[in-house]
Amino acid sequence: MRRDDAPRQLILGWNDVDALIDQLVVQVTGTFDSLLMITRGGIIPGGMIAEALDIRHILTAAVEFPAGGAPRLLAWPTFLQFPDEELTRGRRILVVDDVWTHGRHIMTVRGRVEASGAVVETAVLHYKPHASLFPNSKPTYYAAVTDAFVVYPWEVERRPRPSRMSDPIQI
């Protein structure tokens, strides 16, 4: 890959995320019974949105698609974690993830929650319409549109560091 062909990176700090949350929450209409965060990317923005909108009933979902050469549209997801149907049935739910790239995770979660009888709206910090596998769908709420590879502050490479607890202090 030539340097000119490399995807553009958008590296964000915490102030950038705060501004995106502010941009997103002013779009939201009505109240929600619950907020469902898609792990792992949706955990931090989901918590920030829940706090801003005073949503106290928080749920999580973890979905995995096969890696490798499986056709993108024909791959069946594995639900590693999902709320019981009784927690979503008949409720208004806001499903949150950090980014809608292909849309597979959030649309899969949305579909399963809607199947329980919930009214579902979706929210992401970044929407990538040109990469989406769902040309007739988009997030209900999004803070920004981009084609860049987004690096959020919670995705910064973390290396195990020696704990001060493991190294006794000599007195």
In the chain, the number of structural domains is: 1
Q: Decide if 24 contacts 141 (C-beta within 8 A).
A: yes
Assigned domain for 167 exists: no
Look at residues 135, 71, 80 and name the one whose alpha carbon lies nearest to residue 107: 135
Domain span including residue 101 = 6-147
Assigned domain for 166 exists: no
Assigned domain for 119 exists: yes
Look at residues 38, 41, 49, 42 and name the one whose alpha carbon lies nearest to residue 109: 38
149-151/9-11 β-pairing: parallel
Assigned domain for 170 exists: no
Assigned domain for 156 exists: no
CA distances from 109 to 20, 53, 103, 104, 170 (A): 23, 21, 10, 9, 53
In this prediction the pTM is 0.86
Assigned domain for 84 exists: yes
Assigned domain for 45 exists: yes
Per-residue pLDDT at 67:
77
Per-residue pLDDT at 1:
45
- CATH code of the domain in which 41 resides: 3.40.50.2020
Per-residue pLDDT at 71:
60
Assigned domain for 100 exists: yes
pLDDT (tens digit, 0 to 9) for every residue of the chain, 171 residues total? 455 566 799 999 999 999 999 999 999 999 999 999 999 999 999 999 999 999 999 999 999 988 766 565 667 889 999 999 999 999 999 999 999 999 999 999 999 999 999 999 999 999 999 999 999 999 999 999 999 999 999 997 756 655 555 555 566
